[in-house]
């Protein structure tokens, strides 16, 4: 487990968070584990907290019995394939067999990861979901860039019936300053054109 964070706009995520001390990261992970143990939870899930920056206290929000869109930043900094591991655990594998790590103490963080999401939202209308046909599209590419996509291509039609997020890219340099610079490059190199209100999370880079 790690403590990734999502922007309030829900268009970017990063791990690990620079403002968390090691003690705070341990605290929030232990709080999540305490909830899981109390209900006998056996597989991948997401426990969400808010942090009061003034009091430095954590406040519980919710538990989702699944991985979420932010899970890829955790995969990048821990080296654990969360999706594969949850399938193996559901098939009866132990945590150690599925992840190569026996317990929380064995989770080691390496480097930094930041996720940028391309979404069909209207920035001129409070970022409400939008739809239409894509007339030109080029995804983020480059050394060290992990790209998750599939429904975005020139000529593709984005409908109102599915999630507005249809592409994610993540640079993963070892140092945080390089990560921030590495994020702007794929955003700047991405091309997406089509209906009047198409937008993307790259605007937050």
Q: Which residue do the tokens 């999401």 mark?
A: 117
Give the start-end residues of each E strand in 2-73.
Answer: 5-6, 12-15, 46-51, 58-64
- DSSP output for 126-171: TTEE--EE-SEEE----TTEEEE-SS--TT-EE-TTS-SEEEEEEE
CA distance 47 to 134: 36
Using DSSP's 3-state secondary structure scheme, residue 113 falls into strand
| Helix, strand, coil fractions of the chain, as percent rounded to 5 | 30, 25, 45
Backbone angles phi, psi at 137, to 5 degrees: -150, 130
* Active-site residue (options: 57, 66, 175, 181): 66
User: Cα-Cα-Cα-Cα dihedral of 169, 174, 179, 182, to 10°?
Assistant: -70
CA distance 169 to 110: 18
66 has catalytic annotation: yes
- Active site residues per annotation: 66
């Amino acid at each position: 487990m790690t403590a990734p964070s999502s922007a309030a706009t829900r268009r970017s995520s990063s791990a690990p968070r620079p403002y968390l001390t090691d003690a705070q990261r341990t605290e929030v992970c232990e709080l999540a584990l305490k909830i899981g143990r109390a209900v006998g939870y056996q597989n991948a899930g997401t426990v969400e907290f808010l942090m009061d920056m003034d009091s430095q206290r954590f406040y519980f929000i919710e538990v989702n019995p699944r991985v979420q869109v932010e899970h890829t930043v955790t995969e990048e900094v821990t080296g654990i394939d969360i999706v594969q591991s949850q399938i193996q655990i559901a098939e009866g594998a132990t945590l150690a067999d599925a992840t190569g790590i026996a317990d929380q103490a064995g989770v080691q963080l390496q480097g930094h990861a930041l996720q940028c999401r391309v979404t069909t939202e209207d920035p001129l209308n409070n970022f409400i979901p939008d739809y239409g046909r894509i007339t030109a599209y080029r995804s983020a590419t480059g050394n060290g860039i992990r790209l998750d996509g599939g429904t975005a291509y020139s000529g593709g039609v984005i409908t109102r019936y599915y999630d507005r997020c249809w592409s994610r890219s993540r640079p993963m340099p070892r140092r945080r300053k390089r990560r921030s610079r590495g994020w702007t490059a794929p955003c700047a190199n991405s091309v997406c054109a089509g209906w009047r209100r198409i937008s993307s999370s790259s605007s937050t880079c």
